[in-house]
A and B are shown apart, each in its own frame.
Chain A
Amino acid sequence: MTLQQQTLQLGPVVDRDTGHFRGDHLLVAEMVERGSKVLDVGCGDGDLLQLLESRGIDGRGIELSREGVNRCVAKGLAVVQGDADTDLVNYPDDAFDYVILSQTLQATRQPKAVLENLLRIGRRAIVSFPNFGFWKMRLQLLIGGHMPRTENLPATWYDTPNIHFCTIKDFVQLCGEINVKMERAIALDLYGRPLRVNLPWWFWNMFGEQGVFLLSRAEKSR
């Protein structure tokens, strides 16, 4: 699989002493070139932005919750209150080198439109999302007969903000449909550790707890 052979060698990313930062954040930060300009959509409490700024990256954020925004601004981060579904349209083309959507795609109303906007605003997009094809999910639905709940997705079906779950396979298919080029793809296990790169897609789709994708615009067909 050529795509997976392009992926980063990830061993050192997780082994490096990086203190309190989350595994998927470290992975994302590793994908971003120094000195670039980044928009983090759904930046939460700003942990990823702080990590990026500590690495000399010009980071900006959008966050839906007022509490999250205010905590970010109180950390000195450039974050505005906004909604990925409605506010990305206000950003001009090519405003950023990277736009990051971390664990937020499944909570948007229009994932496809959001994805298209990410790659309009940014020259590249980094998208991570929980893989609904993860074996624990499948097992709970198959054997338990109820909507899956996991350590990382503990909400019940009736109070979850996650309204558009997808599998790694679904996401790859969407990227093909909207003419997005996948530069790198990585699946993480339940503990945020990357799975080996030379495994087949079906294995990732079964054993990856989340997927992290570095995307760019495919050449326009004329």
Chain B
Amino acid sequence: MVKVQSVPSPVTSPAIHADERLQEADHPSSKVALFGADQPLPLDCGIDLAPFQIAYQTYGELDAHRSNAILVCHALTGDQHVANVHPVTGKPGWWETMVGPGRPLDTETYFIICPNVIGGCMGSTGPASTNPATGKVWGLDFPIITIPDMVRAQAMLLDRLGIETLLCVTGGSMGGMQALQWTAAFPKRVFSTLAIACSTRHSAQNIAFHELGRQAVMADPDWHGGRYFEEGTQPHRGLGVARMAGHITYLSDAALHRKFGRRMQDRDLPTFSFDADFQVESYLRYQGSSFVERFDANSYLYLTRAMDYFDIAADHDGVLARAFRGIQTRFCVVSFTSDWLFPTSESRALVHALNASGARVSFAEIETDRGHDAFLLDVPEFFDISRAFLQSAGTARGLTGRNSA
């Protein structure tokens, strides 16, 4: 294990208590679907997870033909609170720019569903949930989960909601991976796929960054081998460092330079110390400390691992095109020029495979200097493309528009 030493605690103690978060893990402030012992979730690691639960949010109304449902899959540190005030942080939903009345994912036209992923910490069963067998928090006893496991659980949720076919499945980053996995695993249930800033497999560089984050968590003495709830501690320094490293990968050199440059934070001269002299340091420390308030450290380990294992082609003899052979689903793939975490080359490889499968595919690369995070930000060209893609899918599906609900 890597030891992180002598860094003057960059991340301050969280203002929101762990108890509050723990409460969300078992009793979420959203809808929740319970699956009993008779409805296990078969995991890729060979374990049947039962009982388990999926916390989810919905926006808009399902139409009479059940044909206007859109599944939104969240990214690594996202959750089901897409377009409502977050119950823990009090901040707006993470995709309010995209989802809502008049937005590209128009809640007056579509029925939007967003579940928290299995392994998450906002109400779907994960390492922060209570293990019914022991009455204690799962911690590292929770089985390793994969992106296909998340998708299988979501399919069970849709069965429960009585939705056979999705008009669209969409998401960015890890959400995009789920969208692609959905389409590969359940092609008949997905009418269209909007895959944003993602890839069909996690690259070596991305696995490396995830390992860095995990080692930072595990090096924190407060992690206690994953039993921090029992010890009454929180590895907030380790998780904060993991978030800081992750956050750098979500931005770009140009965006950091534009936002911060070499400007000093509330001072004119260097202090000749390890204080946060530079604005960029102060910003990263803030990102780290605000993250630990709302996220579970073990959940971060599990979800980064799920992304590392993701490789659609590997499940199809190493040939990506085979995963999508004969597929009828309409695709729109979007990448961003300055995204170096999921660069355009990854999206292009997907598009080539889809072309080889004869799929109907659109592919747009959006010019922006805002890096991987661009999919969460206000990028009008991206909104126009998403809106038009959904409208054309809706027309092809026979949706009649706003009055169809």
Contacts and interface: CB of A to CB of B under 8 A. Distances in A.
Contacts of A81: 348, 363-365
Nearest to B352: A90
Interface stretch (B63-71, B120-128, B166-174, B387-395): B387-395
Interface in B356-370: 356, 358, 360-367
Contact of B385 (A58, A73, A78, A95): A73
B275 interface: no
A74 interface: yes
Interface in A63-99: 66, 69-70, 72-81, 87, 90-92, 95
B365 A76 contact: no
A120 interface: no
B355 interface: yes
A124 interface: no
Contacts of B389: 73, 76
B378 interface: no
Given A58-B360, A91-B355, A66 B385 contact: no
A120 to B, nearest CB: 13
Interface string B204-215: 000000000000
A90 B361 contact: no
B365 A74 contact: no
Contacts of B333: 80
B22 interface: no
Contacts of A70: 364, 366, 381, 384-385
A78 B362 CA distance: 4
A58 B352 CA distance: 19
A60 interface: yes
A73 B361 contact: no
B41 interface: no
A80 B360 contact: no
Contacts of A75: 388
Nearest to A95: B358
Contacts of A77: 362, 392
B388 A76 contact: yes
A164 B360 CA distance: 31
Given A74-B384, A75-B388, A78-B330, A90 B362 contact: no
A81 B332 CA distance: 12
Nearest to A75: B388
Nearest to A80: B363
Contact of B388 (A58, A69, A73, A91): A73
Given A66-B367, A73-B385, A90-B352, A78 B358 contact: no
Contacts of A73: 332, 362-364, 385, 388-389
B118 interface: no
A156 to B, nearest CB: 28
A69 B385 CA distance: 10
A79 B365 CA distance: 11
Contacts of B392: 76-77
B358 A92 contact: yes
- Which of A69, A90, A95 has the most chain B CB atoms inside 10 A of its CB? A90
B351 interface: yes
B332 A90 contact: no
A80 B358 contact: no
Contact of B360 (A72, A78, A87, A91): A78
A74 B388 contact: yes
A79 B333 CA distance: 10
A90 B355 contact: yes
Contacts of B362: 72-73, 77-80
A66 B356 CA distance: 21
A80 B355 contact: yes
Nearest to B383: A74
A178 to B, nearest CB: 24
Contacts of B355: 80, 90-91, 95
A69 B363 contact: yes
Nearest to A89: B352
Interface string B311-337: 000000000000000000010110000
A71 to B, nearest CB: 9
29 contacts: A58-B360, A60-B360, A66-B364, A66-B365, A69-B365, A70-B364, A73-B332, A73-B364, A73-B385, A73-B389, A74-B381, A74-B384, A74-B388, A76-B389, A77-B362, A77-B392, A78-B360, A78-B362, A79-B363, A80-B351, A80-B355, A80-B362, A81-B363, A81-B365, A87-B352, A90-B356, A92-B356, A92-B358, A95-B355
Closest CB pairs A-B (n = 8): A76-B392, A80-B363, A73-B362, A74-B384, A90-B352, A76-B388, A73-B364, A74-B388
Interface of A: 58, 60, 66, 69-70, 72-81, 87, 90-92, 95
